[in-house]
Amino acid sequence: MTDVKNTSTLASSWLQIQSILNSVNHIFIFLVAAFFFVLAKKFDFQDTAMHMFMTGIGFHVLMAQALMSHYKVNPITRWISHKNKSRYHGLMQLAGGSMVLLGSLGKFTSKEVHFETWHGIFGVAAAFGCAASVVGGLANFFQPKFVLKKLPPSELKFRHNLFGLLTFTLGMTAIYLGYYSKFFTRYVDNQFIPAMMLTTVLVYFLTIIGPVTALLTKLKYRRQKQQQK
């Protein structure tokens, strides 16, 4: 009886900690969004500034919100139904993915040389992953019959969860590496850049708590289904 009570107390405490961490994460996300906006506005949302703003808001803000949409301690979505959480997730993913793809396309069409830096390489991978995640998200939401013939709903959700996390990891890595770029080191106070790096790292890890927990649950269910075959 005591063990059950202790377990319940620990679970409740961990839930409270997650709630606090998620609130802190939203503050960090807001601060980063404000910084990206102010910096891009300084250059009239032109060229690299526009690229930074579009991809930064796309991943650091909107895709992060998409990943946290089903997180039970998320103050933005915790009070709405599961169906509306899915709609919110889809809306954030579509908006964030569109911003990332448009921001990346603007950079690709410029005359600058690409793929010569780790930032560029991860950025390209993140852009392709983002496009694939949007398509996968649409398939997961609408679940057309021709897709369900090949993949059951549980497997579809598992793959969407997994590839969404991988894409977010690529995107946030590209943003982190972007702080070493000529644009940031030239126009942002070099003493402030480490603070931005730390904020990006914290947002990444605080954002994936819910999705990773969900992924592990789906993985456990997936293994159980495979063992029953």
Instruction: Note down pLDDT in tens along the chain; length 229 residues.
Output: 555 566 677 778 888 999 999 999 999 999 999 999 999 999 999 989 999 999 999 999 999 999 999 998 999 998 999 889 999 999 999 999 999 999 988 777 765 555 678 998 999 999 999 988 888 888 777 777 877 778 788 888 888 899 999 999 999 999 999 999 999 999 999 999 999 999 999 999 999 999 999 999 888 877 777 777 6
Residues in the chain: 229
Angle, in degrees to the nearest 10, between helices 82-108 and 47-56: 160
Report yes or no: 51 and 107 within 8 Å, Cβ to Cβ.
yes
Q: Which domain holds residue 88?
A: 2-228
Tokens of 4: 């059950």
Among 206, 194, 137, which residue's Cα sits nearest to residue 167? 137
CB 87 within 8 A of CB 68: no
> Domains in the chain: how many in total?
1
Closest by Cα among 83, 124, 78, 133 to 105: 124
CATH number at residue 186: 1.20.120.1770
